[in-house]
Amino acid sequence: MNLTVSNFQLWKTGSGPKTSKTSGYHRIGFFITTPAAEAQLELDLAEGRCPLDAQNDPTRQGLALTLFTFDAVEVNTDKKKGSTRKDFKLNELIENYQGGEFSLFFANCEPYSAIDFDVEVALFNVRGDRVDFLAVGDDMLPFVYFLSFLLFSVLGVLWTLLVVRAKADAHKIHYLMIVLVAFKSLTVLSQAFMYHTISVSGDAEGWNIAFYVFTGCRSLLFFVVIILLATGWSYMKPFISAREKKLLMVVIPLQAIANVAIIYLDEFTPAAESWFTWRDILHVVDIVCCCLVLFPIVWSIKQLRDASETDGKVVRTLVKLTLFRQFYIMVVVYIYFTRIIVYLLESTLPFQLIWLAAAASEAATLAFYVAAGVSFRPMSAGANPYFQLTEEEAIELTKAEQEENP
């Protein structure tokens, strides 16, 4: 760990920049702590205790480990050295060091003061003769995402061949699904290169920009495809109802907001202003979008259930109803797994195995894509009555659409 501090200034209430020695510098500095100690640390802060004093307090041992205070920074500022650099090795700082997850914090415990400085932080692990800027547990991510790219690419090729060979029975939604798989493949490929580049150089070097572009397109297409599949667009009916159009007009802006939140969270740290606000916005938007995609499925199930009770085409209607119910279950399971189970894995897995959460998320996504493709693959009307409407049903749907939009 390398910390470089420069251009340090301290202001007292009613005074200008302070550059002379004061007793307050030893109450300004950096410290590290573990996730297990952060809850107690928050209580101490609420009680007005300084975390920089924890190391010398027998009752608070293990709460925080002070790396350095700004006494040295003050001396260097007086001598106009410009910057102060400190190098640390955790295995030398911590007795019986066994590895683990640590968080770096800055604390200013000097009352009635404000400070300003520039800091550069480099965190890395040493693996043999190589410096690795990825945390232990993230070192497998380049492999996980590149393997995901290969699997999604194979899936995309197979789906494209299936659509081309069954061109007579293919619909617009099937071609849109090809585009979705393509953007998903590009997303995980950019993630693989991004994490590999970070591992080697400590910086994404532009791969993060590619990731933002691809993941934005992929997330937008994903929700649009799910909604269109749920409404039966193109393969059951050639139009989108007014209610479904309104739903799309809600989901698309929400996804735009979510993409901005993702960029903000990745480009800044929790110390940045509004970081936690954007994190909460992302979580809320994600939950809202997941709930919204369930509405058209429920609407379709309700319509088919009502139809099975009123018309004479009971068998045909029940086939469609069964497939919609299966699709509803697929979507719910996918949302539950990727939003809840994956989060629990990230929170409970040992730090060395944290990459398994990302692997589980990609595996679940691949399984969902395959299951959706199998359920909605291009097929002739005789092979699957779900994909074609009779002339009578098409006329009825057209009349219903005209009544809804006079």
* pLDDT tens readout for residues 68-103: 888 877 666 555 567 888 888 888 888 777 778 888
Return the pLDDT at 242: 75
114 and 18 fall within a common domain = yes
Classify residue 134: in a domain, yes or no: no
Strand residues in 272-352 grouped as ranges (E): none
The residue among 91, 123, 155 that closes a domain is 123
Q: Which of 25-39, 102-116, 308-322 has the lowest mean pLDDT?
A: 308-322
246 and 323 fall within a common domain = yes
Separation CA 359–CA 147 (nearest Å): 10
Classify residue 129: in a domain, yes or no: no
313 and 180 fall within a common domain = yes
The residue among 71, 88, 123 that closes a domain is 123
159 and 103 fall within a common domain = no
For range 334-353, the mean pLDDT: 90
For range 22-40, the mean pLDDT: 79
290 and 384 fall within a common domain = yes
Return the pLDDT at 16: 47
Residue among 68, 77, 93, 65 at smallest CA distance from 22: 77
118 and 150 fall within a common domain = no
Return the pLDDT at 315: 47
The answer to pTM > 0.75 is yes
Phi/psi of residue 147, nearest 5 degrees: -65, -40
Sign of the Cα pseudo-torsion (253, 255, 258, 262, in order): negative
Separation CA 253–CA 235 (nearest Å): 26
Classify residue 135: in a domain, yes or no: no
The residue among 123, 158, 177 that closes a domain is 123
250 and 331 fall within a common domain = yes
Sorted by sequence, the CB contacts under 8 Å of residue 312 that are 6+ apart come out as none
Residue 406: pLDDT band (50, 70, 90) is low
For range 351-379, the mean pLDDT: 93
Classify residue 128: in a domain, yes or no: no
68 and 145 fall within a common domain = no
Among 20-34, 189-203, 286-300, 391-405, which range has the highest average pLDDT?
189-203
What integer best gives the mean pLDDT of the chain? Answer: 81
Could you tell me the residue range of the domain that residue 145 belongs to? 141-404
Give, in degrees to the nearest 5, the angle at Cα 198 between 148 and 280.
75
Q: Token pair for residue 286?
A: 């994600």
Classify residue 238: in a domain, yes or no: yes
Classify residue 9: in a domain, yes or no: yes
Tally of domains within the chain: 2
160 and 216 fall within a common domain = yes
For range 9-32, the mean pLDDT: 69
CATH of the domain at 173: 1.20.1070
Classify residue 213: in a domain, yes or no: yes
CB-based contact 73:84 (threshold 8 Å):
yes
Judged by DSSP in three states, 84 sits in: strand
Classify residue 235: in a domain, yes or no: yes
202 and 330 fall within a common domain = yes
153 and 263 fall within a common domain = yes
112 and 148 fall within a common domain = no
